[in-house]
Amino acid sequence: MKEINIFISYSKDDYDYMQIIDGLCRQMEYIDYDDEKFGIRIYSDQYIVAGEAWKQKILDYIDDADLVLFVLSKKFNSSDFIQTVEIPRVMNRRAETAIGVLGIYLEECNYREYELRKTQLTPQYKGRLIPLISWENKIEGLDAIQKSIEMCSYLSIDRNPALTGKPPKGELPRDILMKNYSYKAPEPVQQLKEWATQKAVEEIKFPTPAGNSIARQVTIDNENNRIIVEDTVEVADNPLPWMIIILVGIIIAIILYISLK
The predicted pLDDT at position 186 comes to: 47
- What's the rounded Cα separation, in Å, for the pair 261 and 253? 13
The predicted pLDDT at position 158 comes to: 86
Rg of the chain (C-alpha set)? 29
The predicted pLDDT at position 64 comes to: 92
The predicted pLDDT at position 160 comes to: 83
Domains, in order of start, for the chain: 2-184 (3.40.50.10140), 199-261 (no CATH)
pLDDT per residue as tens digits for the range 18-38 = 888 988 888 888 888 888 889
Helices (H), the chain: 15-28, 54-64, 74-78, 80-81, 87-96, 138-158, 161-164, 174-177, 187-198, 240-260
- What's the rounded Cα separation, in Å, for the pair 250 and 224? 60
The predicted pLDDT at position 16 comes to: 86
Segments in the chain below pLDDT 70:
113-115, 117-118, 172-243, 257, 260-261
183: Cα separation from own chain's centroid: 13
207: Cα separation from own chain's centroid: 35
pLDDT per residue as tens digits for the range 144-193 = 899 899 988 888 888 888 888 888 777 766 655 555 554 454 444 454 44
The predicted pLDDT at position 185 comes to: 46
- What's the rounded Cα separation, in Å, for the pair 194 and 158? 39
